[in-house]
Structure formats: structure tokens, C-alpha cells
Amino acid sequence: MKDSNGAIKRMMIILSKGTLENVYAAFVLANGARMEGIDAEIFFTFFGLEAVHKKKLDHLHVATVGNPAMHIPTMLGGLPGMEALASTMMKKEMEKIDMPDVPEFLEILTASGVKLWACKLAMDMFHYTKDDLYEGVEDVITVGDYYNKSAGEGVHMLFI
């Protein structure tokens, strides 16, 4: 702490969920770090991989079941079309506050120097190959690789 004064130098984010609200949380945190001059990297694992899967990244939904903050009764949230409806509404609100959609956000992140990594174990589990992924993803790596990349002073890890 002597030189850095405890300042954050790099955010190592792990995104394990594929719901729109969690993906946005990871993206906003990574982008917000870069805007403050802090480095940022994201490790996509399990359902988080959907955010960088070419065919899926533009079709992410918010969770309407098991999310009390949505204020939709669980029984209704489970009805067909509810997730799509809630997602469309959320996307409209996002556009109003100048929030980019997932494909555009990925472009912003890579242009801003955020490094994107895919988890090897999850890739194997879902039978994805590197070709399935958004081209801005640097590489498919193991959790051990990600820890090694996280070495250094002022580095913080965040699991979403």
C-alpha cells in the first residue's frame, strides 16, 4: 500500500450469469473502470459465455422468475412470453438513458482496451468452440490462467 495508496489499478471481473441485468452489470463496471483510467478484464464462464456467444449475445433476457425486484408474481413471470416482454421493456428504458445494446457494448469494451477471456471448462461443457465466440474475445483460458493474469498490486477480483 505504500506507493499506491490503496488505489485500484485493475478490475478482474468474472461473469458467470447470462441474464441481461448481470451482463450489463459486468459491462458497466468494466467500462466504468476504463473511463477512470483503471484496467479491466472479464472472464466469461458458465452462462456468462452467452454474452460473448455470437448467436446468443443479442438475444439475452432479464429473469422474470425468482427475482422479487421485478415485482411480477412468480406464477405470472413463468408464463410464455413474459421474459421476452420484460426484456423488450428493459431494452427500451436502456436506450432512453443512452445505454448501448450488448453487441455495441462489446465493441465499446474492446475499443476501450478491456480484455475478454472465455473459460475453457465452460466452453467444453457447452461444446462451444472459439469460432462460436465474438471475435473480440482474446482466448479460451483456464481459471488458473486467469488467476495468473490477476497478479499485481491494486488488482481486485469481482464475481458476478
Partner 1 sequence: MDKIIEGKKITVNEEGFLKDFSEWDKSVAEAIAAEEEIVLTPRHWEVLEYLQEQHKSEVALSIRRIGKSGVLDIKEFYQLFPKAPLKTATKIAGIPKPASCI
Number of residues interacting with partner 1: please give it, by CB under 8 A.
Answer: 16
What is the x/- site pattern for partner 1, positions 28-67, by CB under 8 A? x--xx-xxxx------------------------------
**Cβ at position 7, least distance to partner 1 in Å:** 12
**Cβ at position 110, least distance to partner 1 in Å:** 9
Identity of the residue numbered 76: L
Q: How far, in Å, CA of 147 to CA of 82, rounded?
A: 39
Residue 93 Cα to chain centre, angstroms: 19
CB of 74 or CB of 112, closer to partner 1: 112
Asked if 158 contacts 12 with a C-beta cutoff of 8 angstroms, the reply is yes
CB of 107 or CB of 124, closer to partner 1: 107
The correct pick among 63, 91, 100, 155 for binding partner 1 (CB under 8 A) is 100
User: With binding defined as CB under 8 A, does residue 138 bind partner 1?
Assistant: no
Answer left, alpha or beta for residue 62, where phi above 0 means left and psi between -120 and 50 means alpha. beta
Q: How far, in Å, CA of 111 to CA of 119, rounded?
A: 22
Looking from the CA of 63 toward its CB, the CA atoms found within 13 Å total: 12
**Residues binding partner 1 (CB under 8 A):** 28, 31-32, 34-37, 98-100, 104, 107-108, 111-113
